[in-house]
Amino acid sequence: QKEVEQNSGPLSVPEGAIASLNCTYSDRGSQSFFWYRQYSGKSPELIMFIYSNGDKEDGRFTAQLNKASQYVSLLIRDSQPSDSATYLCAVSSNTDKLIFGTGTRLQVFP
């Protein structure tokens, strides 16, 4: 059974701080890794993807991948109250369906 694990949270950080969201996966054949943001009552929105080991930066977001440790993370710099949402990690082997984690709820307080 392929699994993606995330701490459900909530993760509470003050405005302006760095939020660090973590995800581990069980399938060593995983090749593609995605982060989705889901506001309460809304559908998930793709915010980052990463395919290679290392860091990938996009604005205030940085995705980090370590395939040897089967670990992927999302850093949000200068966190804003508008970043408060549930963040879903999703993993794929590229030959099978996406596997989603259950999400981490992030709360950014002023």
93 binds other proteins (CB under 8 A): yes
Go through 61-90 and write b for each residue having 16 or more CB atoms within 10 A of its CB, e for each that does not. Answer: bbbbbeeeebebbbbbeebeeebbbbbbbb
CB of 12 to other proteins, least distance (A): 18
97 binds other proteins (CB under 8 A): yes
CB of 24 to other proteins, least distance (A): 15
One of 65, 72, 76, 90 touching other proteins (CB under 8 A): 90
One of 28, 41, 69, 82 touching other proteins (CB under 8 A): 41
| Closest of 42, 36, 37 to residue 92, by C-alpha | 36
Q: How far apart are CA 105 and CA 38, in angstroms?
A: 9
Q: How far apart are CA 110 and CA 92, in angstroms?
A: 36
46 binds other proteins (CB under 8 A): yes
User: Could you list the residues that contact other proteins (CB under 8 A)?
Assistant: 32, 34, 41-46, 49, 88, 90, 92-98, 100-103
